[in-house]
Structure 1
Amino acid sequence: MVDHIRMAVAGVGNNVSALLQGIEYYRPGPGDPSLVGVTHPELNGIRVEEIQCVAAFDVDPTKIGQPLTEAIHGSTNNFPQIVDLVGESVTVEQGILSDQIRPSGVEQVVQRLRDTEAEVLLLSLPTSRPAAALAYAEAALSAGVAVVNCSADPVAREPGLLRRFASASLPLLGDDLASQFGSSLIHRALLDLLARRGLQIDGTYQVNLGGNEDFRNLRDAGAPKLTSKLNVLSTVPGVASLSVIPSGGHVPFLMDRKVAHISIEGRGWAGSRVAVDVRLEVQDSSNAAGVIVDLVRIAADGRRRRVGGFLGAASTLLKSPPPAEDGWER
């Protein structure tokens, strides 16, 4: 067994709730629970349950000062409770406000990361908070901590910042998760399949619906997410028309579930029509946590090996990794 990964989180939302509850769910006990749903039970010698949260930051007044065990179920969070967290003594602290970036606030984060000896800072912020995401990344760099950015806001795609992390031998992984089994993954696979089989793709679209806070936010600020999804889908050759709606609507009834509708129309032999329609329903935050658990372990292993910048092992787990140039692992 290796030393536990000491992880800090910025943003105590559904994804963090799903991640922390999942880590507890997979913790070995009498009978050793099944690892169904885990892509890599062990990654770089690190098991799922060997991740420990040592600090948490948020800007929601109802979460600040609360035990993390309670905050993950508070406010607008609606990921279901699947286990009780045990032995968790972290208190949620004031985070960095996106519209009030103060040096004193950033320095408080730096000091907390140092005091807790955090190894990885997980950025699980709402999309369209680029200033806050970059401020957290700067704090992590000052504290000597690796970063995993889950949001679609560009952090690892900032070339200067990525090179500075590389020079400091600190991993910087992002941006935007490719969900464990998500709509963009399936959409891209179907487009690739049709293209490989020689079909002409005349048009395709993807519409996503959900009931969590992320979907409510994307309804009003979905531009970075749209760009990220197009990064995945637009490289398929010969697609005449492509439309993606990251949040077709916030449907509270769905809670933390996501429903995606994917449609593809094309032509095959002698112009014969082909149509594919897919409906996907997933627990949205579980879909994220199943990837985050690998990214955190990749980042921690890189930091321990003193390999900085973007680590190639993370590229398939992200929708918008940085271009393969300066700052990538050598």
Structure 2
Amino acid sequence: MALAQESPDAQLPGLMCHTVGGYRLSDVRVVAAFDVDAAKVGRPLAEAFTAPSVSATKFTQLGIDRDSPVLPAPLLDGLDGPLGTLVETSAAALETTSESVAKALVDHEVHVLVITLPTGASQAIRMFAQAAIAAGVTVVNATPEKLARDEDLRRRFADAGAVLLGDDLRSHVGATSLHTTLIELLISRGLVPTSTYQLNVGGNTDFLNLADASRSASKFDSKANALRAAGLTDVAGAAGPTGYIGHLADTKVCFANIKATSVLGSELEIDVKLTVEDSPNAAGVIANAVRAGQTAVDRGLSGSVDDASALLFKSPPHGLPESEARASFLNFAS
């Protein structure tokens, strides 16, 4: 969201939509953040960005948002697994409740809450969803946790007049987008995929957390959902995080392979490697998702909004092939 400090008329590289529902990125403000890290809680946003656990590059100076507070969140299961050895828990987080989070959302006049908690932190993620319902706040679920795909939660958001977008935010040009685009290309040419894999390694705290099999299960499910939406059925395959390599820091490396049967029974194989800086690769998608969430509210929508979700998330309630999802979102954004 720091990109919101750029000129309102700037055409930013990698930002798919200059406006969504009439909103420019300069219309978005970060008014508060929540965390459990003792190095972040109680500090302004600009200082929290330099905490030891943050490996992302500092691309731009914060402007009006630099002094926004980092508030405590309930710990729950947020630091279960390897993250518990890396992050010191704030004392305030041990005393914070869902009710206090809901109150903070109201007090800080939050319109859209982006949930970016560690994969597998089911209790903590659902706590934020409950707090958002209580506060009538729209949610962008960037995690693989099943929120937008939960029929009861969708109904409760609708009853609260709030929008729920998710699940599992895609990167702008990431492993899933690359993989599904290649699959769609092959299928559109009449080829029949026979096997595929997508293996991802990285060195940030996300990959450290995903190195624990008990935390990464929902990520593998989400990746599988994305492949099915791209048209893969009954095909031998695997996709998901496969390793933590500390010295890679915020670099993510994807190895993807697809084999398919082509004309006259001939065989085709695609073998690609994608290397990206992981954290900023999500920034443009979050920028679209936040503006889409507010646009949906402006239009009197509530609950899950399919037209805004299929392109932005790996595991939306109703997945679509890449080209159809893009057309659907651009039509919604206009």
TM-score (normalised: structure 1): 0.85
Which runs of 5 or more residues in structure 1 are unaligned?
1-19
Query: How many angstroms does 1:317 deviate by?
Result: 0.9
Query: How many angstroms does 1:311 deviate by?
Result: 1.5
Query: How many angstroms does 1:47 deviate by?
Result: 0.4
Query: How many angstroms does 1:179 deviate by?
Result: 1.7
What is the aligned counterpart of 1:84 among 42, 58, 61?
A: 61
The alpha-carbon distance between structure 1 residues 238 and 60, as it changes in their structure 2 partners (threshold 3 A), is closer
Query: Does 2:223 correspond to 1:223?
Result: no
Counterpart Cα distance in 2 of 1:114 and 1:237: 43
Query: Does 2:319 correspond to 1:293?
Result: no
Aligned to 2:328: none
Counting matched residue pairs gives 301
What is the aligned counterpart of 2:314 among 291, 300, 319?
A: 319
Query: How many angstroms does 1:103 deviate by?
Result: 10
The answer to which of 264-273 and 56-65 deviates more is 264-273
Query: How many angstroms does 1:99 deviate by?
Result: 3.6
Aligned to 1:148: 140
Aligned to 1:198: 190
RMSD: 2.2
Write the deviation string for residues 1-48 of structure 1: whole angstroms up to 9, x where unpaired: xxxxxxxxxxxxxxxxxxx33323x334xxx64422111111111101
Give the aligned residue type for 1:115: D
The answer to which of 140-149 and 94-103 deviates more is 94-103
Write the deviation string for residues 61-115 of structure 1: whole angstroms up to 9, x where unpaired: 1111111111122131111111221232212111121249999611111111111
Counterpart Cα distance in 1 of 2:194 and 2:21: 43
TM-score (normalised: structure 2): 0.84
Counterpart Cα distance in 2 of 1:36 and 1:163: 37
Kindly report which structure 2 residues correspond to 1:20-39, keeping only aligned pairs within 5 A, or say none.
20-24=1-5, 26-28=6-8, 33-39=10-16
The alpha-carbon distance between structure 1 residues 183 and 301, as it changes in their structure 2 partners (threshold 3 A), is same
Kindly report which structure 2 residues correspond to 1:1-330, keeping only aligned pairs within 5 A, or say none.
20-24=1-5, 26-28=6-8, 33-87=10-64, 88-99=66-77, 105-220=97-212, 221-235=215-229, 236-237=231-232, 240-244=235-239, 246-315=240-309, 316-323=311-318
Counterpart Cα distance in 1 of 2:302 and 2:233: 37
Query: How many angstroms does 1:204 deviate by?
Result: 1.0
